[in-house]
A and B are shown apart, each in its own frame.
Chain A
Amino acid sequence: MQLSRTSRWSLRTITYLTIGIVYLPLAIVLVLSFNDSNALVWPPRGFTTHWWSTLTDVESAREALATSARIGIIAMLIAVVLGSLLAFGLQRFEFFGKNTLSFLAVLPIALPGIVTGVALRNTFVRFGWDLGYLSVVVGHATFCIVVVYNNVVARLRRLSPNLREASADLGAQPWQTFRYVTWPLMRSAVAAGAILAFALSFDEVVVTTFTAGAGVSTLPQWILNNFSRPNVLPYVTVVATIVMVISLPVAWLAQRLSDGPRER
């Protein structure tokens, strides 16, 4: 398609400007974590590493981090098992209600988090189950299933049915085809789904707020609670920077994994 020089130039400018805008707030957080002030304002007043060096003294942050990691791992495990099974079942079999089920699978992220949160909270309270770790895990797993499902089903759709047929022609039993053909080709998508599910759980705040009891505080909740406390606020920027620095390469890895093996 022929484009004038001006339109090419403006499209490129818009793209790189967008990238700049996307990273600007992240850069601001990074800079403010070294700011010699306990207010989230610009420009920074002076340089200090005080917040970074005394971070380990903030016990509540450590506890929140441990809570988030624990919840994230359990929710991820549930989501990996259920999401992969669902993707496999929906991709491999034809049955009545299949379309409804695949629609149902994306519903937990198509409906606002506040609906999921209020609905699950209501169920827990109605049945007299305590709000705590377990209820948060159930809430997180519900939307994490979707992430794993999406990743795995996209991969399974790309796999040629010829491979399965070739495997069967070579005399493989269905479980052997799965073990030696399908699984090696889908496992990187499962891994990517797992990483994204953990990341989603680690960052989630709405469903968490409604399903967590008084004793459970995840990292996002710790952030939420401490933004209004001037003496903890600088530590929030430090924790935020650390989370950012860790999660960006991990998200990049997840993207690489979900691209999958190259076509041969």
Chain B
Amino acid sequence: MHPVHRVGQRLERAPGLVPGLSRFFGARRRLALGTVVSGPLLWLVVVYLGSLALLVTSAFFRLDDFTGKSTSEWTVDNLDEAFTTGAYRTLVIRSVLIAASATLVCICIALPVAFYISRLARSWAKRGLVVALTIPLWAGYLVKAYALRAIFEPGGDNGGGFLNSVLGASPGFGYTATIVTLAYLWFPYMLLPVYTGFERLPDALLDASSDLGAGTLRTFRSVIFPLLIPSIAAGSIFTFSLSLGDYITVKVVGGTTQMIGNIIERTLLAPNQPLAAAFTLWPIGIMIVYLAVMGRLGAFKNL
């Protein structure tokens, strides 16, 4: 029995328990809206946006060198240091490149895999394949990072890593290991929207492309890929953002490599809260630009 049919029955049994209340809300939709949305709105605006705003302003305060606490004296020195120092700029560019590479790796794997699951796998296997590829997301972030450390371990006094003992070679700890690990960690975030995108592609479109004489690659390049851009953009928001801010993975498998998160953490614990706040303006700014570009590509219709 459909829920709607049940309503008729229940109404006869329980005629208007709180009719006054619902008429009150029904007539005053604004009030109903306010009641429903005010809680989450307060949390997101006051707690979250409020904290972000406080963080941004705290970047303009001078640090008291003796107490290690921020004073209420205004200064632009923190911003000057965070944005004009060559070494920090290099670090930011490196972080962006690492995050972009991890995202690219995710795209390159998600496209063929999602294509296979969506178009070639048998219908009963589809669900299972998607679940099999996405549930490891919940298996523990640190555990996976350390497991990849055991894989990339270049070998030493107390034994070698998995790659070393199985393949005889390992890239060791550094850029490659960091990018591979980040891509491994956040891959499900890319796969899901890309798979959904593939599922929405009409078969007729692909057939039409073949009928017009396009080969597989041509169909992919001229038909599939352009239609999947919003889905890829949506997935990339997560893979890029999560990789950009990650400072633990790079500690675990990055060797001496550093990312912007490491500087933020170290500065904050120094303690130099105002300078750390100034550093966070980098990822905030980069993500605002990134979100704007991805929004242009249609990402938010696919989130």
Q: Please state if B165 and A43 are interface contacts (CB–CB under 8 Å).
A: yes
Query: Cβ of B166: which chain A residues have Cβ within 8 Å of it?
Result: 42
Indicate whether A111 sits within 8 Å of B184 (C-beta atoms), given known contacts A18-B113, A173-B22: no
> Measured between C-beta atoms, what is the minimum distance from A184 to chain B in Å?
5
* Set A114, A176, A240: member contacting B264, Cβ < 8 A: A114
Main SS of chain B's interface residues?
Answer: helix
Q: Looking across the interface, which residue of chain A has its beta carbon closest to that of B14?
A: A176
Q: Looking across the interface, which residue of chain A has its beta carbon closest to that of B52?
A: A119
> CA separation between A193 and B153, bound complex, in Å?
37
Query: Cβ of B26: which chain A residues have Cβ within 8 Å of it?
Result: 173-174
Query: Cβ of B280: which chain A residues have Cβ within 8 Å of it?
Result: 114-115, 118-119
Q: Is B246 an interface residue (CB 8 A)?
A: yes
Q: Please state if A176 and B10 are interface contacts (CB–CB under 8 Å).
A: yes
Per-residue CB contact flags for chain B residues 192-221 toward chain A (1 = under 8 Å, else 0) read 000000000001001101100000100100
Indicate whether A142 sits within 8 Å of B140 (C-beta atoms), given known contacts A120-B51, A251-B135: no
Q: Please state if B37 and A41 are interface contacts (CB–CB under 8 Å).
A: no
Q: Please state if B39 and A252 are interface contacts (CB–CB under 8 Å).
A: no
Q: Is A58 an interface residue (CB 8 A)?
A: no
> CA separation between A110 and B235, bound complex, in Å?
11
Name A103-140 residues within 8 Å CB distance of B: 103-116, 118-123, 125-126, 138
Q: Is B79 an interface residue (CB 8 A)?
A: no
Q: Is B112 an interface residue (CB 8 A)?
A: yes
Indicate whether A42 sits within 8 Å of B265 (C-beta atoms), given known contacts A85-B39, A181-B3, A252-B131: no
Q: Please state if B45 and A104 are interface contacts (CB–CB under 8 Å).
A: yes
* Set B47, B120, B144, B291: member contacting A12, Cβ < 8 A: B120
> Measured between C-beta atoms, what is the minimum distance from B293 to chain A in Å?
13
Q: Is B168 an interface residue (CB 8 A)?
A: no
Q: Which of A21-29, A47-55, A59-67 has 4 or more CB atoms under 8 Å from chain B?
A: A21-29
Query: Cβ of A3: which chain B residues have Cβ within 8 Å of it?
Result: 120, 216
Total inter-chain residue pairs, C-beta < 8 Å: 307
* Set B11, B143, B277: member contacting A243, Cβ < 8 A: B143
Per-residue CB contact flags for chain B residues 213-251 toward chain A (1 = under 8 Å, else 0) read 000100100000000000000000110011011111000
Main SS of chain A's interface residues?
Answer: helix
Q: Looking across the interface, which residue of chain B has its beta carbon closest to that of A98?
A: B37
Indicate whether A115 sits within 8 Å of B283 (C-beta atoms), given known contacts A18-B109, A223-B142: yes
Query: Cβ of B142: which chain A residues have Cβ within 8 Å of it?
Result: 205, 220, 223-224, 227, 240
- List 16 additional contacts besides A15-B116, A176-B7; criterion CB under 8 Å: A26-B143, A28-B150, A32-B150, A39-B158, A83-B40, A109-B241, A112-B283, A115-B245, A123-B54, A138-B47, A173-B23, A175-B22, A203-B138, A220-B141, A244-B139, A255-B134
- 10 nearest A-B residue pairs (beta carbon): A112-B245, A41-B159, A25-B147, A89-B37, A86-B40, A1-B206, A173-B22, A240-B143, A251-B138, A89-B36
Chain A interfacial positions (CB closer than 8 Å to B): 1-4, 7-8, 10-12, 14-15, 18-19, 21-26, 28-29, 32, 37, 39-43, 45, 81-83, 85-86, 88-90, 92-93, 95, 101, 103-116, 118-123, 125-126, 138, 141-142, 145, 149-150, 163, 166-167, 170-177, 180-181, 184-185, 196, 199, 203, 205-206, 209-210, 220, 223-224, 227, 236, 240, 243-244, 247-248, 250-252, 255, 264
A and B contact pairs by CB, cutoff 8 A, 24 listed:
A1-B206, A15-B113, A21-B184, A24-B151, A25-B147, A41-B150, A93-B32, A103-B300, A105-B40, A109-B241, A115-B284, A116-B48, A126-B58, A142-B47, A145-B43, A167-B7, A170-B7, A173-B16, A180-B7, A206-B245, A251-B135, A251-B138, A252-B131, A255-B134
Chain B interfacial positions (CB closer than 8 Å to A): 2-4, 6-8, 10-11, 16, 18-19, 21-23, 25-26, 29, 32-33, 36-37, 39-41, 43-45, 47-52, 54-55, 58, 109, 112-113, 115-117, 119-121, 129, 131-144, 146-151, 153, 158-162, 164-166, 184, 187, 203, 206-207, 209-210, 216, 219, 237-238, 241-242, 244-248, 261, 264-265, 268, 273, 276-277, 280, 283-284, 287, 291, 300, 303
